[in-house]
Amino acid sequence: MQFYGTPLPGVEKQEDYPGKLIVIEGTDGVGRSTHIALLRTWLESRGHAVLDTGMTRSILAGRGIKEAKTGHTLGRLTMQLFYATDFIDRLENEMLPALRAGFVVLTDRYIYSAIARAELRNIESHWIRSIYGMALVPDAIFYLRIGTAQQLGERLLSSGRGFDYWESGMDLHLGQDFYDSFIEYQKRMLKVFDRMTNEYGFHVLNASRSVRSVAADLRKAVIKVLDEPAPSAEDKVSVMPPLRDKTTPAKPTSNLVDLNKKALP
Amino acid sequence: MISYGQHQFPGKLFVVEGTDGSGKSTQLALLYQWLKAEGYPVFFSEWNSSSLVKDTTKRAKKRHLFTPATFSLLHATDFADRTERDIIPPLKAGAIVLADRYIYTAFARDVARGCERSWVRDVYSFAVKPTMAFFFRAPLNIAIDRIVSGRPNLKYYEAGMDVGWADDPEESFTIFQGKILEEYDRMVSEFGLTVIDASRSIERQQREMRMLIGPHLNKQKRVRSN
């Protein structure tokens, strides 16, 4: 097992695990959850057991973070540590056991988003990296990259989610309203991610394209991580149920819009 | 982010540390009464008291959800909230802040549980360095007697049952407290802790504390003069 820094207490570095840890990273609204859902179904159809996880989903700290975020009294250091607690709980109790049992672990974001958020809040880079040093180095990190913050804003609107206080970085007072703040915050976020691409060896995928072509690329790359033969012709990506039948004409909306809606809980 | 030792505030921060049953809370309460009577603005901050984190900690303790790493991180979260909310603002305003347990408690407990020394120190590097940190040192058997006789049922994490040293809570507690005391002892020179012999009378310990704190209060502002 390879860790970024100080290993988890009680874990032997020599130990190896049969599973694969695959990270899907990207800024808010690039379609991470859509792609994880697609990947999961596809991997399971090929016979792989899959665990998927993501930020604030821990049994230990998930609820506490959500509650703390509803008030605006969460300080910037407190927030980072709360998220770190959530992450380590999931690493120890979900990801690691699944990897030991031979699962493919798909994680929606990993330490990189947490580090990027901390950096945007002027938090010392050594500090946050040292805390997350307990993270396992993944088998692959796919960064779904979108060109501009404006594009992200459009996607957010088309998904019907609207702007969230924290995703817009409202605590940083970057703009007059949620939209201005969101654009400035995400612009900075994209910069930090670009910087981290080399540092952590992200596999960058251009997420401005259709869901279909991004998903096809992801599959090809995941196959390599799993050390399996390339997908056959019948594995062609079908991301949607048939769009039309005889009675209903095709809708003018793009695949992307519908998919994002579908992915909502 | 400003790290340990670099904060410059007009206020003063005094902390008490020591194993359970060393009598430190009693001493801090007496100090509080004295400073109040002298007319200083005094604030009191206790370990594990953040309202933001409290419910999560309570639930985790009840359901045994902690590992050494998450125990450490959630307590650091609690401490960060207290630092941002209860410690830094009064210090900036020139008040005296008294803390019952501080980062050294985390250093002692988390390392005893198996976390790496340097990692825990890094996690807490945002803490304000105290003006003085008192370490109430009681011989292990005295501290254990005080706790065990006062509370017949030792709590799961308090006894270090999560680490699995022993099946018997009292035996586990004894091993845990021994390791904690070892960590405290090595921190005395590392952080310049002021050692108070906690086996002496309460009055004598209090006199010593007041004498040591006195010189730091010279220029402190008072809310009213005596």
So what's the pLDDT on residue B141?
85
pLDDT per residue of chain B (226 residues) written in tens, 0 to 9: 888 888 999 999 999 999 877 889 999 999 999 999 999 999 999 998 898 999 999 999 999 999 999 999 999 999 999 999 999 999 999 999 999 999 999 999 999 999 999 999 999 999 999 999 999 998 888 878 877 777 668 889 989 999 999 999 989 999 999 999 999 999 999 999 999 999 999 999 999 999 999 999 987 878 765 5
Binary contact (B65, A131; C-beta < 8 A):
no
How many angstroms separate the CA atoms of A48 and A28, rounded? 28
Mean per-residue pLDDT, A86-97: 97
- The model's confidence at residue A165, banded by pLDDT at 50, 70 and 90, is confident
Q: Residue ranges of the domains in chain B?
A: 13-217
C-alpha closest to that of A50 among A214, A204, A216, A226 = A226
Tell whether A125 is within 8 A of chain B (Cβ). Answer: no
Which pLDDT value is given to residue A238? Answer: 62
CATH number of A21-229: 3.40.50.300
Instruction: Determine the average pLDDT of the residues in A146-168.
Output: 85
For the segment A243-254, the average pLDDT, to the nearest whole number, is 43
The reported pTM is 0.88
| A21 vs B: CB within 8 A | no
pLDDT reported for residue A152: 87
Tokens 């307990």 belong to A134
What mean pLDDT comes out for the span A32-38? 96
Which among A64, A80, A93 has CB closest to B56?
A: A64
* Structure confidence at residue B144 (pLDDT): 82
Instruction: Report CB contact under 8 Å: A60, B84.
Output: no
Residues of B in contact with A82 (CB under 8 A): 53, 77
CB B160 within 8 A of CB B172: yes
- Indicate whether A251 pLDDT > 80: no
Which phi and psi angles does A143 have, rounded to 5°? -105, 115
Whether pLDDT at A92 is above 50 = yes
3-state secondary structure of A106: strand
Kindly state the DSSP code that residue A171 receives in the 8-state scheme: G
Arithmetic mean of pLDDT, A94-102: 97
Mean pLDDT of A178-191: 93
CATH of domain B13-217: 3.40.50.300
For an interface test with B, the pick among A6, A60, A128 (most B C-beta atoms closer than 10 Å) comes out as: A60
Q: What is the pLDDT of residues A41-72, one digit of tens each?
A: 999 999 999 999 999 999 999 999 988 888 76
Q: Is B88 on the interface with A (CB under 8 A)?
A: no
User: Which has the closest alpha carbon to A254: A163, A158, A154?
Assistant: A158
SS (H, E, C) B152-194: CCCCCCCCCHHHCCCCCHHHHHHHHHHHHHHHHHHHHHHHCCE
A67 close contact with B: CB closer than 8 A: yes
Question: B80–A60: do the CB atoms touch at under 8 Å?
Answer: no
Any A CB within 8 A of B71 CB: no
* Token pair recorded at residue A185: 């915050």
Which chain A residues contact residue B126 at CB under 8 A? 77, 127
Residue A150: Cβ within 10 Å count: 13
The pLDDT score that the predictor gives to residue A239 is 59
Hey, what are B44's tokens?
């009191």
Chain A's closest residue to B85, CA to CA, is A75
Give the pLDDT score at A231. Answer: 63
pLDDT value of position A167: 85
Task: Say what the pLDDT of residue B137 is.
Answer: 95
- Does the pLDDT value for residue A109 go beyond 90? yes
Identify each DSSP E strand in A61-206 by its residue range.
Answer: 104-108, 140-145, 203-206
Using the Cβ of B49 and the Cβ atoms of chain A, whether some distance falls under 8 Å is answered with no
Q: Is B68 on the interface with A (CB under 8 A)?
A: yes
For an interface test with B, the pick among A8, A11, A77, A111 (most B C-beta atoms closer than 10 Å) comes out as A77
Cα A114 from Cα A81, distance rounded (Å): 10
Q: Which residues of B touch A8 (CB under 8 A)?
A: 69
Nearest by CB: B52 against A5, A78, A80: A78
Q: Phi first, then psi: give them for residue A2, nearest 5 degrees.
A: -115, 130
| Rounded Cα distance, B175 and B154, in Å | 13
Q: Hey, are the CB atoms on B67 and A122 less than 8 Å from each other?
A: no
Q: Any chain B CB within 8 A of the CB of A265? A: no
- Tell me the average pLDDT of chain A: 87
Choice among A153-157, A216-220, B132-136, B214-218 with the minimum mean pLDDT: A153-157
Q: How confident is the model at residue A29 (pLDDT cuts 50, 70, 90)?
A: confident
In chain A, where the domains are located: 21-229
Dmax of chain B from CA atoms? 56
For the cut 60, the answer to whether the pLDDT of residue A234 exceeds it is no
pLDDT at residue number A255: 42
Are B83 and A77 within 8 A, CB to CB? yes
| ipTM, interface predicted TM-score of the complex | 0.91
Find the closest chain A residue to B50 by CA distance: A78
Asked if the Cβ–Cβ distance from B80 to A77 is below 8 Å, we say: yes
